[in-house]
Amino acid sequence: MLATTLGDMIERCGHEVSGFARTGVGAIRAYGEQRPDVVLMDFSMSKINGANASRLILSQYPAAKIVMLSGFLSKEDLSLVKCGAVIMEPKPLEMERLKEILDNFAPGINPS
């Protein structure tokens, strides 16, 4: 799923996008700078994969809420990834499920 498409979906769910990162290193840096309410992290990222980036973020910010997404792993495979994510979700992520996740873990701009 392209980041911009996911960003559009997030906004349609009534939430704000604080930024995007293309690599695991970028995700770690962006989290430290922006401290978002929730992170949607792709498992397959370059330089450092999403699981390792999540571990590093959580080592510095234990209250971080990270949702791990992957188009290559099944839900069962994702449950085996020990990265500290609050939820593991296979891609593609349906709009209804995205809204449910965001409403539970991040205050919405226009909560319903």
pLDDT band at residue 41, thresholds of 50, 70 and 90? very high
pLDDT at res. 25: 96
Q: Domain extents for the chain?
A: 3-102
pLDDT band at residue 90, thresholds of 50, 70 and 90? confident
pLDDT band at residue 110, thresholds of 50, 70 and 90? very low
Fold of 3-102: Rossmann fold (3.40.50)
Sheet containing 66-70, strands listed edge to edge, beginning at the edge strand earlier in sequence: 39-42, 66-70, 87-90
* Global pTM value: 0.84
- Give the separation between CA 66 and CA 51, rounded to whole angstroms: 10
pLDDT at res. 109: 47
